Amino acid sequence: MKKIKYRSKAVLTLLFTGINLSIHVITVIIVSFVGFILYQLGILPESGSKFLFLGMFIVSSLLVGMVVSYFVGRFPLHPVHKLIYSLNQLSEGNYKIRIDLGNAKISHDLSESFNKLAQELENTEMLRSDFINNFSHEFKTPIVSILGFSKLLQKDTLTKEQQREYLGIIEEESGRLSAMATNVLNLTKIENQSILTSVSEYNLSEQIRTCILLLEKKWSEKEINIIPDFSEHSICACEDQLKQVWINLIDNAVKFTPEKGRIEIDVRETEDKITVSVKNSGSEISDEDLPNIFRKFYRSDSAITSSGNGLGLAIASEIVALHSGTIEAQSGSGSTAFIVTLPKM
């Protein structure tokens, strides 16, 4: 990358040096040719002040040089003007603009770099807009429910059963709102963290077993069969953050596993990395949804009716990335698996 950068810089330097040299050469040729013609026609005297001739030559060179520079400079500087205009468009928020500066190597490189920048800015703007829209919608829904049932509770005609039902809904929506705010704060904290802290070596297998027990109520109610397939493994990582990953993945698997289904948790270790797989039976994730499931607030059509706010997988993805690992989803043949690969450090 550095070689390409320096090569492009050198090409630009040589290009503009060549333009300046060309202007000087053209100017000297024109002035000399005109001077020779005038001398042949007898307009210029054979004898006279050397300073006069020198002054005339300098003035003529300046005038001709300005004219030549204007016409010659317009062609090579046209791509530069086009680039400046396009950059101004970007600064004004027009991220859809694209440029084509020509087929020359340097022009093609500039066009490609600019278009890549514009594409990245457009994608970032789309993600920002989607995040704001989804965030507003997810927060608005429980607030509207709380407001509506609070107004109903003010009526004197409600029975005790109705009051308990409405209070239960308000409690549930309040908990959902609180969990959402906590998840947003956690995600923001992780996104702004560039250095992994609180790293220690601990028993990864024991941690996963603990996470399974913490969610026992949820998977027991659905009579889900949990199948842990791993021996003892240790890892050097941030224990608290990875605990969030396993809880999010197992909880997500429980949500989408049908009653009396199964969840398989597998851990494999090589010389330099550890791979954890959480696989559940049930409905598959469509090919259209797979690339988006780690986005904030994203929920597929099959997930709309389930509890959650679309932040669990986004948090898991950010934590894994912070540990220099990878996370991917595979779905098919009546099952879905989330595979986390982490360096052993």
Nearest CA to 245 among 319, 151, 296?
319
Q: Give the model's pLDDT for residue 59.
A: 65
Residue of 236, 234, 229 whose CA lies nearest to 212: 229
**Residue 96, φ and ψ in degrees, nearest 5:** -90, -5
Q: Is 342 helix (H, G, I), strand (E, B) or coil?
A: strand
Cβ–Cβ under 8 Å, residues 260 and 266: no
Taking alpha carbons only, the member of 78, 82, 60 closest to residue 70 is 78
pLDDT of residue 287: 80
Tell me, what's the pLDDT at 149? 87
State which amino acid sits at residue 132: I
The pLDDT of residue 223 is 92
Residue 215's nearest CA partner among 244, 250, 180 is: 250
| pLDDT tens track, the chain, 345 positions | 444 444 555 655 666 666 666 666 677 677 667 666 766 666 655 555 555 555 566 666 666 666 666 665 555 566 777 777 888 888 888 888 888 877 777 777 878 888 888 887 777 776 666 666 666 766 777 888 888 888 888 888 888 888 888 898 888 888 878 877 777 777 777 766 667 778 899 999 999 999 999 999 999 999 999 998 888 999 999 998 899 899 999 998 998 899 999 999 999 998 889 999 999 998 888 888 887 788 766 666 554 445 555 678 888 888 998 899 999 998 888 889 999 999 986
In the prediction, which pLDDT does 242 show?
Answer: 92
Query: Read out DSSP for 148-197?
Result: HHHHHHT-TT--HHHHHHHHHHHHHHHHHHHHHHHHHHHHHHHHT--S--
